Structure 1
Amino acid sequence: MTKIKLCGNFRLQDIDYLNQVQPDFAGLILAPGHRRSVSRTLAQTMRSQLADNIPLVGVFMNQSLREILSYQDIIQYVQLHGQEDEALVAAIQAHGLPVIKVMTPDQQVSTHAAYRLIDAGAGDGQVFDWQQVVASTTPTMLAGGLNISNLEQAIHQVQPDVVDISSGSELAGIKNLAQMQKLVQKVRNQT
């Protein structure tokens, strides 16, 4: 049964929505300089308001082990979206934080991370040819332009362990409760 991660949450209102729709994972961008990036203070507040049963994923890009581990009391998973190596994956996981390692369809490599996330780009919402996803013993997350209209097809074709959706849960660049509800419902209604 595929699970769902709703990522790119950046407002406290988004946490209210997440608590209502109950995805399997929620994500925050903790790498600076992106449109949906959040500060440490906001991340702490968001975690405190997010339901305890929803693990919070922190998205990092080429940041140090020290910086990543400084969020250990806020997040339950680390998503590495840069050129991080397996040594960093191992070091983070040795500190009790499971890692989601992002890779592009043409750079699928083996990893000791808890999950591998296949995405066409740097979280820019581009769909890629799902036939490029190769089988792996590492659980697979699928991202890249997933939305209400293509989600069922993506799940049927790829059978990922988790679908990861950010812009597909928004209207005009802002999280939308109705969109989030429809996405979670589609994933939950799989047969």
Structure 2
Amino acid sequence: MNGWKQGTIKVCGVRTPEDIQACLQARVDLIGLVLVPGSKRELSLKQATVLRDLIGDQARVVGVFMNQPYSQVYETTQALDLDLVQLHGQEQGRCWEQLGRPLIRRVMPSDYRRDRRASALPLVDAGAGHGIAHPWPAARYPEAMIAGGLTVNSVAALIEALEPAAVDVSSGVESSPGCKSPQAIDEFCRNARIAFGQVRRAQRSSNQ
């Protein structure tokens, strides 16, 4: 996978079959399974396997890890047949490339230009992974996925202002902590796609 496809939408932190159904009905591109011990949205391997089987090949599946041993990440990646691996901590070393999966790595907006790893798909997270929105620098992220406090009401404006290739949401489509709202997932995806389309049209016009 060489860079993000323009207009990619990822919903992270799914926990139930109903969450999966809502994501598939909304035509979400990437579905994130949180496999971080102690996380509010943590899945056991058994729970994740059930959800992975429901998804099949209808969307790409991302396993989210944070500061876990390589051996554990490798075994889980193989067991779940993950499509992508998201490293959300301070993982170092070239061993991660041996997973044989595209790597998503989190960076802060202020570090994006200098900290981007050529082998990774950048996830620029203004909320440090806690779903809290922080002010975004006046910049554009045409090769990145953005995250951090995105909601049904904010996603369109952020896409138009930051021009990212992709967006990632978790708590922004929940009715309560850990409980996804099918309506919010649908509205988020609809608003994001409209905004991505507007950005593409504006870019084409400026290039003419």
With the length of structure 1 as denominator, give the TM-score of the two structures: 0.89
1:12 maps to: 17
Give the deviation of 1:12 after TM superposition. 2.2
Secondary structure, aligned partner of 2:76:
coil
Larger radius of gyration: 2
Q: Unmatched 5+ residue regions in structure 2?
A: 1-5, 199-208
User: Cα distance, 1:44 vs. partner?
Assistant: 0.9
Alignment of structure 1 residues 32-181 onto 2, 5 Å: 32-73=37-78, 74=80, 75-85=82-92, 87=93, 90-108=94-112, 109-131=115-137, 133=139, 139-173=143-177, 174-181=179-186
Show structure 1 runs of 4+ deviating over 3 A.
Answer: 132-136
Alignment pair present for 1:30 and 2:35: yes
Q: Which amino acid is the alignment partner of residue 176 of structure 2?
A: A
What is the distance in 2 between the residues matched to 1:120 and 1:47? 28
RMSD of equivalent CA atoms? 1.8
> Residues 129, 15 of structure 1: CA spacing in aligned structure 2 closer, same or farther, 3 A cutoff?
same
| Structure-2 separation of matches of 1:140 and 1:53 | 23
Q: Which amino acid aligns with 1:177?
A: P
Q: Deviations over 1:80-133 (max 9, x none)?
A: 111112x2xx43333321100001223330202331111134421121222255
Distance in 1, Cα, partners of 2:16 & 2:55: 12
Which has the larger share of helix? 2
**Which deviates more from structure 2 when the two are superposed, residues 125-134 or residues 69-78?**
125-134
Aligned length: 186
